[in-house]
Amino acid sequence: MAIRGQKALGLVGATALSALIIIGAAWAAGALTDRDSPPAPDFDAQIWLNSPPLRIAELRGKVVLVDFWEYTCINCVRTFPYLKRWHQLYGPLGLVVIGVHTPEFEFGKDPARVADAAKRFGFTFPIAVDSDARIWRAYNNDAWPSKYLIDKDGRIVINHLGEGGYAEFERHIQELLKQANPKLDFAPPKFAIAQDYTGTGAICQRPTPEIYLGSARGDRIANDGGYRAMTTATYREPNDIPADRFALAGNWIATPEFVQHAAKSSAMTDFVALNYRAKSLYLVAGSAGAKPARLYVTQDGKPVPQSARGVDAKNGRDGRTYIELAGKRMYYVANNPGFEEHVLRLYPGTPGVSLYSFTFGNECENAFEHK
């Protein structure tokens, strides 16, 4: 994912690139040194969740984990079980977890939506609502998810980009806590660090890359002539949609961030078709209306079987598969039995449905709550 044209990390499950940077520090005899580690910037946020405003100076003597996340980012969501573990396990020992929510899409700037997402994911640690990306820029951050470890003296010593590397990161947490309080003992079994999840398959196959549907970043559209941006247009589905590409059919408006269904009725003749390769498929979508809107789904021209449906996909009495769009967020569309290739079609049941992006997972996704 990327924000305002900045660098993106295409990270998917256990096959993802995972970069851990020890900033101005070195491992020596199992200990971190803080030589040349930069001081952590303060949190310039007007709105906080689960906490009054926090300042770095007030946190001296503690270890601080700053996590940049975004509530529609599947790569972030897959890290949440680890964030919650560290908060619960090490919080009483001096670790302060601070989530910084910097939005990718315009709708994510709404603090009420961020608060709803934090509640849905079960976050109890402090969250700075960074809708204007001030904290993002202060940390010179360039991707989601991204984690920073700040030592007892208020200096950044670790920056971890992307998913994975959880065991190594937890070892760094323990080491920094020991520096802050040498009396700590991490021998009890509850502090045993589990190996990173790698899935049950021998091979973690590479799924379709993230696909943006808006015209600003939608470089995988398969329609002849591409987008007709910022105008109501009628699109014709091409005879063939190559793998890892999508196409529009029927009446749509292509905006920089999303495509919006523009038909005046719900004749079920307009759709988005996607040729994807993955085990799981996630969709960022929403509706312009106040009432929930249905988005009908087929896979290979048929209703999605129960064995392949994500938690947000349901079958109605008429046998059709649908997703109830009740707010702008990420929806779990498909969870196939294995890594497979399919053609998925999405049919808006009403005008005004907006589709933002598709993301995917492979056989090596770690276990996480689908909320």
Helix (H, G, I), strand (E, B) or coil at 233: strand
Only one residue has tokens 């990173």, namely 196
Element (H, E) at 255: none
Q: What is the pLDDT of residues 32-75, one digit of tens each?
A: 444 578 999 999 999 999 999 999 999 999 999 999 999 999 99
Name the pTM for this structure: 0.91
**Rounded mean pLDDT of the chain?**
90
- Predicted confidence band at 290 (pLDDT cuts at 50, 70, 90)? confident
Q: CB count, 10 Å around CB of 259?
A: 24
- Give the residue from 297, 226, 230, 294 showing the smallest Cα distance to 260: 230
pLDDT one-digit tens code per residue, 300-352: 999 999 999 999 999 999 999 999 999 999 999 999 999 999 999 999 988 89
Mean pLDDT of 16-37: 56
pLDDT exceeds cutoff 60 at 17? no
Cβ neighbourhood burial of 198 (10 Å; 0-12, 13-18, 19+): middle
pLDDT of residue 211: 98
Is the pLDDT confidence value at 20 over 80? Answer: no
Whether 153 and 40 have beta carbons less than 8 Å apart is answered as no
Q: Is pLDDT above 60 for 155?
A: yes
Which among 181, 179, 186, 184 is positioned nearest to 37, based on CA atoms? 179
Choice between 177 and 203, residue whose per-residue pLDDT is larger: 177
What mean pLDDT comes out for the span 247-272?
Answer: 90
Would you place residue 5 in the very low, low, confident or very high pLDDT band (cuts 50, 70, 90)? very low
Instruction: Determine the 3-state secondary structure of 258 from DSSP.
Output: coil
Other beta carbons within 10 Å of 311 = 12
Percent with pLDDT over 90 in the chain: 81
Residue 367: count other Cβ atoms within 10 Å of its Cβ: 7
Rounded distance, CA 84 to CA 325, Å?
27
Pairing of strands 63-69, 95-101: parallel
Q: What is the per-residue pLDDT across 356-365, written as a single tens digit (0 to 9) for each?
A: 999 999 998 8
Q: Is the pLDDT of residue 3 over 60?
A: no
Cα dihedral across residues 212, 218, 222, 228: positive or negative: positive
* Segment (H or E) for 87: helix 80-90
pLDDT for 24: 58
d(CA 212, CA 363): 22
DSSP state of 317: T
Tens of pLDDT, residue by residue over 210-229, are 999 999 999 999 999 999 99
CB atoms within 10 A of CB 91: 15
Q: Is the confidence at residue 80, as pLDDT, over 70?
A: yes
DSSP-assigned letter for residue 217: T
pLDDT confidence of residue 200: 55
Q: Is the pLDDT of residue 264 over 80?
A: no
Q: What is the pLDDT averaged over residues 230-252? A: 96
Rounded to an integer, what distance in angstroms lies between the CA atom of residue 159 and that of residue 141? Answer: 10
d(CA 107, CA 346): 21
Whole-number pLDDT of residue 366: 85
- Could you report the per-residue pLDDT of 81-118, keeping only the tens digit for each? 999 999 999 999 999 999 999 999 999 999 999 999 99
* Chain Cα centroid distance, residue 226: 27
Q: Taking 80 as the threshold, does the pLDDT of residue 205 lie above it?
A: yes
Q: According to the model, what pLDDT value does residue 189 have?
A: 95
CB 244 within 8 A of CB 208: yes
Residue type present at position 213: L
Q: What letter would DSSP give residue 142? A: -
**pLDDT at 201 (0 to 100):** 54
pLDDT of residue 10: 36
pLDDT for 26 beyond 50 = no
